[in-house]
């Protein structure tokens, strides 16, 4: 596909300014996710002694189509529009994260999902992209405030952390706190905030260990050299079974006994049926995508775009690293999806929104003379 640079249409403008390498990596991951959905669906819908079907794969195709629309449409936004959309998304996700505590569907002792007909929605998935953009705008704001800007972002973060711990969702809590730390780091935080983040992270980890039995069990199991754990053991067995090039599409057997083969442990399914070769391609695509977005963020003209783009790239890469690290037993089990690849509408839509924001903020627009906008004018859509 090619367009003349003289073409002034909106689509041509988007094509010449968006990071096409990053976009190709995203589409590649979505394609791999659909392929693995067909590989994992019979195992997720059936079992070792029962025949499964492909209804998870069919639903994932519908999810992927909507995710591609979200990715494309959000990448067309201006930085100011990204901020307004992110603010609305964060507010809606925060409200939804508290609503699930009352009206949510309980699964294995956790309330994280709202049942919406043919799919379930996890509002907390959308906290990350909304918070990343909104907090970046606050930290980049040049107008003085009575309360320090890091404190304002912490105030913004606090109710989200409370909602996540009440669900409980320790994995998302960790990711959101890591996202805040990333923003503070890129914003040039002072030493006192380094201690605050370090102490807060340690405190949350210790509290989660003693308050939540499932967290304590997973951590103890991970550090016990005599135990591997049921899920971890099967995941490692799947990788050993697959070897370098895998046993072939649909020929995997370990996946039928692996819990959450279509979501949390989809990486193990890739390892069994397509081997180390596909696992390496997946990891490479995540690395390429993260590095490209970080480089484009660093080249952005506005501090707000720099901070938000870098934070979105880091939280995306960190989630991928955690999922793959759990699958190969480098980290304790956390119940976290692999971006663009794991089954599920909430995860796929939230990741598409995250990467759509990142593409929009890192577009290399012409160096036109524009008047500086404050946080309030960007939110209200008015010129300073």
Q: Round to whole Å and give the CA distance between 108 and 329.
A: 22
pTM: 0.89
Measured between alpha carbons, how far is residue 327 from residues 54, 235, 378 in Å? 23, 6, 42
Does 369 reside within a domain?
no
Total structural domains within the chain: 1
Q: Are 269 and 331 in contact (CB under 8 A)?
A: no
Q: Is residue 279 assigned to a domain?
A: yes
* DSSP H helical ranges for 47-126: 55-75, 79-103
Return the pLDDT at 369.
43
The whole-number pLDDT of residue 383 equals: 46
Task: Give the domain range for residue 321.
Answer: 11-363
Question: How far is CA 180 from each of CA 36, 85, 249, 310, 330, rounded to the nearest angstrom?
Answer: 32, 19, 40, 12, 24
Cβ(355)–Cβ(319) under 8 Å?
no
The radius of gyration of the chain from alpha carbons, rounded to an integer in Å, stands at: 21
DSSP string, 176-221: HHHHHHHHHHHTT--HHHHHHHHHHHHHHHHHHHHH-HHHHHHHHH
Is the residue at 80 inside a domain?
yes
pLDDT digits (tens, 9 = 90+) for 174-207: 889 889 988 988 888 777 777 777 777 777 777 7
Give me the pLDDT at residue 70, please. Answer: 96
What integer pLDDT is reported at residue 47 of this predicted model? 65
In a domain, 254, yes or no: yes
Specify the pLDDT at position 367.
58
First to last CA, the chain: 39
pLDDT at 77: 94
Q: Considering the domain boundaries, does residue 381 fall inside one?
A: no
Q: Compute the CA torsion angle 285, 271, 179, 124 (nearest 10 deg).
A: 120
Q: What percent of the chain has pLDDT over 90?
A: 51
Peptide bond preceding 168 in cis form (omega within 30 of 0):
yes
Domain assignment present for residue 226? The answer is yes
pLDDT of residue 384: 38
241 and 252 Cβ atoms separated by less than 8 Å: yes
Q: Could you tell me if residue 35 is inside a domain?
A: yes
The confidence score (pLDDT) of residue 45 equals 78
pLDDT at 72: 94
Tell me which residues of the chain have a pLDDT lower than 70.
1-8, 47-51, 108, 214, 222-229, 366-374, 376-377, 381-384
From edge to edge, which strands make up the β-sheet containing 110-116? Answer: 105-107, 110-116, 119-121
Domain assignment of residue 73, yes or no: yes
Tokens of 67: 């995710």
């Amino acid at each position: 596909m090619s367009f003349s640079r003289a073409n002034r249409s909106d689509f041509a403008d988007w094509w010449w300014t968006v990071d096409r390498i990053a976009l190709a990596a995203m589409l590649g991951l979505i394609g791999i996710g659909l392929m693995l959905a067909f590989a994992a669906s019979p195992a997720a819908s059936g079992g070792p002694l029962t025949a499964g079907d492909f209804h998870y794969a069919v639903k994932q195709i519908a999810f992927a189509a909507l995710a591609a629309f979200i990715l494309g449409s959000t990448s067309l936004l201006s930085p100011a529009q990204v901020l307004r959309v992110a603010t609305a998304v964060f507010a809606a996700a925060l409200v939804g994260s508290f609503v699930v505590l009352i009206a949510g569907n309980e699964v294995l002792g956790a309330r994280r999902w709202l049942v919406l007909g043919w799919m379930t929605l996890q509002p907390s998935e959308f906290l990350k992209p909304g918070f990343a953009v909104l907090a970046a705008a606050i930290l980049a704001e040049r107008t003085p405030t009575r309360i320090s800007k890091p404190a304002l972002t912490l105030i913004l973060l606090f109710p989200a952390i409370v909602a996540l711990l009440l669900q409980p969702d320790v994995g998302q809590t960790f990711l959101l706190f890591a996202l805040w730390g990333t923003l503070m780091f890129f914003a040039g935080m002072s030493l006192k905030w380094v201690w605050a983040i370090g102490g807060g992270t340690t405190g949350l980890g210790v509290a989660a260990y003693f308050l939540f039995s499932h967290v304590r069990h997973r951590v103890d199991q991970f550090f016990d050299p005599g135990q591997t754990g049921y899920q971890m053991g099967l995941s490692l067995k799947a990788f050993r079974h697959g070897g370098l090039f895998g046993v072939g599409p649909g020929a995997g057997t370990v996946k039928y006994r692996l819990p959450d083969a279509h979501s949390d442990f989809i990486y193990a399914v890739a390892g069994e049926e397509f081997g180390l070769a596909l696992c390496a391609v997946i990891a490479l695509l995540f690395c390429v995508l993260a590095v490209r977005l970080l480089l484009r963020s660093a080249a952005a003209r506005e501090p707000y775009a720099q901070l938000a783009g870098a934070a979105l790239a880091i939280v995306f890469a960190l989630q991928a690293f955690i999922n793959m690290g759990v699958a190969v037993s480098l980290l304790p089990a956390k119940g976290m999806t692999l971006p663009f690849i794991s089954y599920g509408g909430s995860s796929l839509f939230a990741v598409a929104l995250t990467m759509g924001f990142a593409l929009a903020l890192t577009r290399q627009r012409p160096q036109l003379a524009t008047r500086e906008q404050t946080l309030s004018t960007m939110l209200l859509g008015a010129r300073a």
